[in-house]
Structure 1
Amino acid sequence: MPAHEGTAVQEEPSAGAWGEWNPTEDSARPLRGKHRVVKQRGGLARSSTVLGVGVIAAVGAAPLATAQDRPQLPISIPSLTGPSGDSHTGAAAQAKAGSDADAAAPTTGVLAQHDRQAQQHADAGEVLRTRILQQAESQQDAADAQTRAEAERAAQEAAAAEAKAKREAAEQAAAEAKAAAEKAAQEAAEAKADEDRTAGAGSGPASGSADSNSGSYSLPTSSYTLTSHYGAAGSMWSSGHHTGLDFAAPTGTPVKAVAGGTITSAGWSGAYGYRIVLRLADGTEVWYCHLSSMSVTSGQVGAGETIGRVGATGNVTGPHLHLEVRKGGATTDPLTWLQSKGLNP
């Protein structure tokens, strides 16, 4: 290649002499001093060939260096745990403190959030505990109320049973007392009847207790009170009026045959209750009604003989003997008939 003025020409090293070209700051500096490329006149200055030669010359003028040829520079890595005097260590510490502060901020927030959640859980647990206690208390109150109700009901049942037992005992005592009184009245009536019979037998015809045509007669009962007479009007009698004579006496008072005769009927007779029909020798029928019991139900009886006892069976308002006297099937006044036999009820 021809030499040009002001241009340093260096032979191109062989391919083996070139190493890896690694331009550095020094090698890339613009060339100063005498190593200048003289601008040539003419079109050859703009030629790419000339330009390439100039660049090669400029580059070749500077010392060539590669990465392998440059000395290694020590690289200092700051230690996070170095002494405080080290500037790098202080910066690292400050950076770590900042990082710690930055990390502590969210950590503190998380802890606060955890505290709030724990507090909320504690509050929810306390509310649940309160509800459970209230429910347990309500159940206990209900159980206590049920226990009290059962105790009261048991006490009421016991009181009712005791009252019932006392009432039954009182009723039984009253019934026993009544039975004793009736028995005493019956015994007294029988004794008086025996006295009357004895007195009537000893008085003879003058006493009016005997009839020369039909034999002796006797009152149908004793210890009595006449209440309803024959012919008395009232709705309680089916015929509209009373058809007999009532002898009110205690239940169990003996009932006697007014004269000797035959018992033709004895038993239940509807509104008359228990009834005995005594037929006398002249055909007269004497009815004994509302009896509590019947001692003789058939056969012959004599005057003054006990054939039954006063009662309150059938259509009655109290214990009494209803005495009817019938002739030819028609009723007659028993009081008048008894008086015609010499008796004065």
Structure 2
Amino acid sequence: MEIQEPPTAGAWGEWNPTEDSVRPVRGKHRVAKQRGGLARSSTVLGVGVIAAVGASGIATAQDRPQVSISLPALPDIMSGGGNGQQEKPSSGAERAAQANPVIAQHADRTADAGEILRNRILQQAESQHEAAEAEARAQAEQAARDAAAQEAKDRLEEARKAAEEAKAQAEAKAAEEAETARKAAEEAKAAQERPAPAAGGYSLPTSSYTLTSHYGVSGSMWSSGHHTGLDFAAPTGTPVKAVAAGKITSAGWSGAYGYRIVLQLADGTEVWYCHLSSMSVTSGSVGAGDTIGRVGATGNVTGPHLHLEVRKGGSTVDPLAWLESKGLNV
């Protein structure tokens, strides 16, 4: 930088910088405060340098006569203080701290505030992350509970349906068994009422029977002192059938015989059906195997049975031998 010799006092007039002239210029040269760290420190340093330069005469040159300014020799900050050693250039922050310790302290406080803000932001982010994870875990647990509840509900519904199906199957099976039993009973009843196979026009007097008392057995139960017929023990209501074609000559109550039907055959033989519970035919002609009454326990009896007597010429004969003589397998 070329330094001009100061002119004579008579040409321009002597002007010496005063304390007022080197103060920072206020007004249009003032820079607004900057907030934050090293950038603010650098800005303030730049403003200070500009203000110093303006104070040395540039800013006030418009109001005073032009003069030559002599600047004092400044220490060479780039050299080693005149000892021939070059100093390491200072950073902007170090130069700002050397120029104004207050600015440096403010920069340190700003840096600390920035670190605190950073830590708060990190803590807030971590808290938000933990809250998000907790919410995700809660949602997952709720979803698991909902899934378990739905699974239990589905299993309960399946069990209910299985129980209903099992009940329906059991009812259907029971109804089928009942229908089978009913048909079997009807078939058995029809078989009982169906005329027995005749041997030369003769038929057994009943079915599903057991022979209990035979002809001629002695005992005090009979007034004659012995049994005069053949007993076919069978359940009450078992059909009683005509052993051969003939005519019913008597039907009704007969004392110790209970309800009795007398069937007279063509050769004059009489067949007595005694202790009947009911009488289906009380008169007229019937054919072999026709149902004429039902087994019962009326009269002098100890249980339901058919007392069958065969009489010829007014005298009793052995019913078993007579039936077998007609070709019947009793």
Q: Larger C-alpha radius of gyration, 1 or 2?
A: 1
Give the TM-score of the pair, scaled to structure 2: 0.43
